[in-house]
Every structure is written in structure tokens, then in C-alpha cells.
Amino acid sequence: MSGDIWEWRGPSPFYFVSMSSEDSDAIQEIAAGASYGWGAIPVLLASGEQQWTTSIFTKDGKYIVPLKKAIRSALHLGAGDSVNLTVEITT
């Protein structure tokens, strides 16, 4: 999957990539069996040589992928940049 990084400004800023509608629909089909609560789904992500675990969840009908500061720094990415991610659901 690929997408643009966007920033949510709350008490502490967070950065995300929204999945496409098609990718979100595919994940929704297996979400009940993969979710560990509140709709969050554990995933293994990769981009370039970086690999990490996190959980994805829905916002506005699409799954969003949080991007940790350490990952953004290692990949030299920020808000507005496009990123390619490999997403593997882990259970």
C-alpha cells in the first residue's frame, strides 16, 4: 500500500497514513478474527529496510497506519510525504 503521511494535532502530534478504500475493505472482511479489541488490528509493517509492529484502526471508514517518530526519522519522512508500506496482519 502507499499513501501520504498526515498529522493529527492533539495534545501530542501523531502521524498516520490512510489506507485506500480497497485495502480497508479487504481488511474489514477479516477484522473480526484479527482484532484484539476496540477494532484495533495488530500488523507487521515494512518500508525499505525498516520493519516494525503496530496496530491499525479505522477513521472515517478507512484503516489508518500510525507512524512512530523513530520510523519517520529512519525513513526521512514527514507530513505530506508519500510512503510505500507492506502490511501483514499478525494474530
Whole-Å CA distances, 24 to 15, 57, 59? 18, 10, 10
Q: What's the whole-model pTM score?
A: 0.86
Per-residue pLDDT in tens (0 to 9) along the chain, 91 residues: 999 999 998 777 899 999 999 999 988 887 767 766 677 899 999 999 999 999 999 999 899 999 999 999 999 999 999 999 999 998 7
**Which residues contact residue 70 at a Cβ distance below 8 angstroms, ignoring those fewer than 6 apart?**
none
Homologous superfamily of the 2-89 domain (CATH): AF2212/PG0164-like (2.40.30.100)
